[in-house]
């Protein structure tokens, strides 16, 4: 079998461009050679702690230099990285440690209290990333190179929150993740060695890990870390560090548009990529106007490494779509009401998005039934509804589970949100269905107002929606909130909104 390691993503630029800057975090600047040296030293320390090839090691750290050092250290030792979402409670971290069978937890001091509680409850050893692992690494001869791994061996296990039930571990192989980083860098996005990207997306999440970190270093480019996203600070940092590449989720784009008005200078951006959730076209237009650069919106899931489809210069871009499938990946639309087989639909028809290719995971850890439900006839069933037009452009309409059925008519929240985002008084909007005795479900818009939230504004938004949406689609209820609840991957948690407003 062919051997391959995700560790090569850092090892190769260290060999080819040792003195090029790999990482910037505050005052810290590390070359590829220095970063790989530190990762190999930590990898040797992990081996001393008993980590053997194939062992799962949990990693809990924010976007600081500690994350990539430990990430590639685990891979260098032949271990499997289990990234832990930083917003989880101690009980939820316990579930990840138990379910993954992690033998060790590497924890940043900022997360030490939660990490220690979970580690104690599960009898997993915790090693702190500030002094403890560094001290062990300093007293150990660094590994000469990374451990040999089979291309199909697990590299990372992502815990997907999903829309229902307990989080499942999606197992991604070295081949999955090396290919996704490579194809993102050279086929979809044209990343160049002299590029500098802002690493503001959480690195514990698939989007930040593959698109920001691994794809950037696959091309030998520089990553500037921002541990906590703040739009005004992000703009300052991008200007100061000559950042020309930005990867973000829609909430970040909303923030950057607002902060741009007060900024003295704006960065000169060449590539902007949006993912994680649907980017309202109105926000995309405002961003492109303010920053003078196109936004390439894409789509993916933890189970697909994550990128499956993205707007690409080769095909031209189309706002409101997720572009075309990545090189070597097929994305099609299948009948959503048939579960035991994949029946593809012709262009233009609405159905479930299905994906096959080098990016599709090997399955859910220890859950053969869930794996069999997700992988059907060689395709991964995404649970998202979408369309593919005659030109091959894909569009996501909504989650299968988020569709509102009002009076027998299907209403897709995304479509309503797109319209609401064009109202000048709406800063952000999430549309949900609430139980209704007459219609089954009623359409409710939860809005973060751009100014004062008043009963008059709520009435005005409803009236305005009536003019722009079909009679079965416009929201009858408008609720105001200061902020929408976001999950660790920055997606709006609609189940939380439904629970809150239903009550």
- 495 and 437, same structural domain? yes
Percentage of the chain lying above the pLDDT 90 cut: 86
The CATH number for 152's domain is 3.40.50.980
482 sits in the region (left: phi over 0; alpha: psi -120 to 50; else beta) called alpha
- Mean pLDDT for 354-363 is 98
Q: How far apart are CA 477 and CA 449, in angstroms?
A: 15
Whole-prediction pTM: 0.89
Query: Are residue 110 and residue 38 in the same domain, yes or no?
Result: yes
Whether the pLDDT of residue 152 is over 80: the answer is: yes
Q: Within this chain, do residues 338 and 433 fall inside the same structural domain, yes or no?
A: no
Q: Burial of 292 by CB count in 10 Å (0-12 exposed, 13-18 middle, 19+ buried)?
A: exposed
DSSP per-residue string spanning 28-64: EEEEHHHHHHHHHHHHHHHHHTT--TT-EEEEE--SS
**What mean pLDDT value characterizes the chain?**
95
| 441 in a structural domain | yes
Token reading at 467: 């003019």
Domain-located, residue 76: yes
Say which range, 219-223, 241-245, 326-330, 463-467, has the weakest mean pLDDT. 463-467
Please work out, in degrees rounded to the nearest 5, the angle formed at the alpha carbon of residue 427 by the alpha carbons of 416 and 430: 40
| Residue recorded with tokens 């104690």 | 120
The pLDDT tens digits of the residues spanning 391-401 come to: 999 999 988 88
Note the pLDDT of residue 176.
Answer: 98
pLDDT tens digits for range 153-174: 999 999 986 544 578 999 999 9
Q: Are residues 46 and 163 located together in one domain of the fold? A: yes
User: Which of 35-49, 71-85, 173-187, 397-411 bottoms out in mean pLDDT, i.e. has the lowest?
Assistant: 397-411
Q: Do 374 and 493 share a domain, yes or no?
A: no
Range of the domain at 99: 33-171
Instruction: Examine the domain organization and report whether 55 and 166 are in the same domain.
Output: yes
Residue 233 lies in a domain: no
| SS3 per-residue string spanning 346-375 | CCCCCEEEEEEECCCCCEECCCHHHHHHHE
Q: Quick check: helix, strand or coil at residue 94?
A: helix
Asked whether the beta carbons of 223 and 217 are under 8 A apart, the reply is yes
Find the mean pLDDT for residues 352-380: 97
**Residue range 214-230: mean pLDDT, rounded:** 97
Q: What is the mean pLDDT of residues 458-482?
A: 93
User: Quick one: 65 and 77 in the same domain?
Assistant: yes
Clarify whether residues 392 and 445 are in a common domain.
no
Q: Which of 142, 171, 200 is the last residue of a domain?
A: 171
Q: What is the CATH number of the domain that holds 396?
A: 2.30.38.10
Assess whether pLDDT exceeds 60 at residue 108: yes
Do the domain assignments include residue 234? no
Q: Is residue 376 part of a domain?
A: yes
Higher pLDDT, 439 or 306: 306
**Residues whose CB falls within 8 Å of the CB of residue 16, separated by 6 or more in sequence, listed in order:** 220
- Do 377 and 428 have their domain in common? no
* pLDDT value of position 46: 98
Residue 422 in any domain: the answer is: yes
Q: Distance (Å, rounded) from C-alpha 157 to C-alpha 109? A: 23
Mean pLDDT on 118-142: 95
Identify whether 326 is part of a domain: yes
CATH number at residue 439: 3.30.300.30
Q: Report the percent of the chain where pLDDT is more than 70.
A: 99
In the structure, what pLDDT confidence band is assigned to residue 88 with cuts at 50, 70 and 90? confident
Is the C-alpha dihedral spanning 146, 147, 151, 156 positive or negative? negative
Q: Give me the pLDDT at residue 491, please.
A: 80
Tens digits of per-residue pLDDT, 300-327?
999 999 999 999 999 999 999 999 999 9
**Each residue of 263-313: pLDDT tens digit?**
999 999 999 999 988 899 999 999 999 999 999 999 999 999 999 999 999
80 lies in the same domain as 137: yes
Q: Is residue 235 part of a domain?
A: no
Q: N- to C-terminal Cα distance for the chain?
A: 56
Q: Among residues 365, 400, 435, which one ends one of the domains?
A: 400
pLDDT at 163: 46
- Give the count of domains, the chain: 3
410 with 378, same domain: the answer is no
Show which of 400, 432, 452 is a domain's final residue. 400
Q: Hey, what are 17's tokens?
A: 């461009």
The answer to whether 267 and 290 are in contact (CB under 8 A) is no
The answer on 462 and 345 residing in a single domain is no
């Amino acid at each position: 079998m062919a051997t391959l390691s995700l560790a090569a993503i850092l090892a190769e630029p260290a060999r080819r461009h040792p003195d090029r800057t790999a990482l910037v975090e505050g005052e810290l600047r590390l070359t590829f050679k220095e970063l790989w040296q530190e990762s190999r030293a930590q990898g040797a320390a992990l081996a001393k702690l008993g980590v053997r090839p194939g062992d799962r090691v949990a990693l809990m750290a924010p976007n600081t230099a500690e994350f990539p050092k430990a990430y590639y250290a685990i891979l260098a030792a032949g271990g499997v990285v289990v990234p832990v979402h930083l917003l989880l409670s101690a009980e939820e971290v316990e579930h990840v440690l138990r379910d993954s069978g992690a033998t060790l937890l590497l924890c940043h001091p900022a997360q030490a209290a939660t990490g220690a509680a979970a580690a104690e409850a599960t009898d997993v050893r915790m090693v702190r990333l500030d002094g403890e692992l560094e001290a062990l690494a300093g007293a150990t001869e660094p590994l000469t190179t990374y451990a040999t791994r089979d291309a199909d061996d697990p590299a990372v296990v992502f815990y997907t929150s999903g829309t229902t039930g307990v989080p499942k571990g999606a197992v991604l192989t070295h081949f999955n993740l090396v290919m996704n980083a490579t194809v993102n860098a050279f086929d979809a996005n044209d990343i160049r060695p002299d590029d500098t990207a802002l690493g503001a997306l959480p690195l514990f999440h698939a989007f930040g890990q593959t698109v920001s970190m691994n794809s950037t270093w696959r091309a030998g480019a520089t990553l500037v870390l921002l541990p906590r996203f703040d739009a005004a600070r992000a703009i300052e940092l991008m200007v100061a560090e000559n950042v020309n590449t930005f990867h973000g989720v829609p909430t970040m784009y909303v923030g950057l548009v607002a902060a741009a008005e007060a900024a003295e200078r704006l960065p000169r951006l060449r590539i902007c990529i949006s993912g994680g959730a649907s980017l309202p076209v109105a926000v995309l237009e405002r961003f492109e106007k303010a920053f003078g650069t196109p936004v390439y919106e894409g789509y993916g899931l933890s189970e697909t490494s994550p990128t499956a489809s993205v707007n690409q210069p080769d095909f031209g871009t189309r706002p409101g779509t997720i572009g075309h499938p990545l090189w070597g990946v097929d994305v099609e639309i299948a009948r959503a009401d048939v579960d035991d087989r994949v029946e593809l639909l012709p262009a233009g028809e609405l159905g479930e998005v299905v994906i096959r290719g080098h990016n599709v995971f090997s399955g859910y850890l220890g859950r053969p039934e869930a794996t069999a439900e997700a992988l059907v006839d060689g395709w991964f069933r995404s649970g998202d509804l979408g369309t593919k037009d005659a030109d091959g452009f894909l569009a996501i309409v909504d989650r299968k589970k988020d569709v509102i059925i009002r009076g027998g008519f299907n209403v897709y929240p995304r479509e309503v949100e797109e319209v609401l985002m064009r109202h000048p008084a709406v800063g952000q909007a999430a549309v949900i269905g609430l139980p209704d005795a007459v219609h089954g479900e009623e359409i409710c818009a939860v809005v973060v107002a751009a100014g004062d939230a008043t009963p008059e504004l709520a009435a005005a938004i409803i009236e305005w929606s009536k003019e722009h949406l079909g009679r079965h689609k416009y929201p009858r209820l408008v609720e105001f909130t200061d902020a929408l609840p976001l999950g660790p991957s920055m997606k709006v948690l609609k189940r939380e909104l439904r629970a809150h407003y239903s009550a």
